[in-house]
Amino acid sequence: MRREFPVLRGMTYEDLCYHTLVLAGVLMKEALVAYEQGVWDEIRRPQGEAYHPTFRNAPEEILEAVRQKLRDQTYAHYSD
């Protein structure tokens, strides 16, 4: 499953992490309901080429670049 949320000017990296965690909970609930209703195979999306894909934090230098772009408001995908 996949969903997007708007990134607004003034948001911090921590704001993005928080919204991502909230959205992950919503998606998990939707996935469990879909599985229970027997429609999981209809909405399931491929996960990529890895056998066991996992989420990994980016290296600190990448995270600092992200934080700087958010501070400078030079992030390329603001929705406002």
Dist. CA 54–CA 58, nearest whole Å: 12
Q: What pLDDT sits at residue 80? A: 84
Q: Which pLDDT band holds residue 59 (cuts at 50, 70, 90)? A: confident
**Percent of the chain residues past pLDDT 70, beyond the cut:** 86
Domain segments of the chain as ranges: 1-47+56-80
Average pLDDT over residues 27-44: 88
Closest CA to 66 of 19, 5, 13: 13
Average pLDDT over residues 9-38: 92
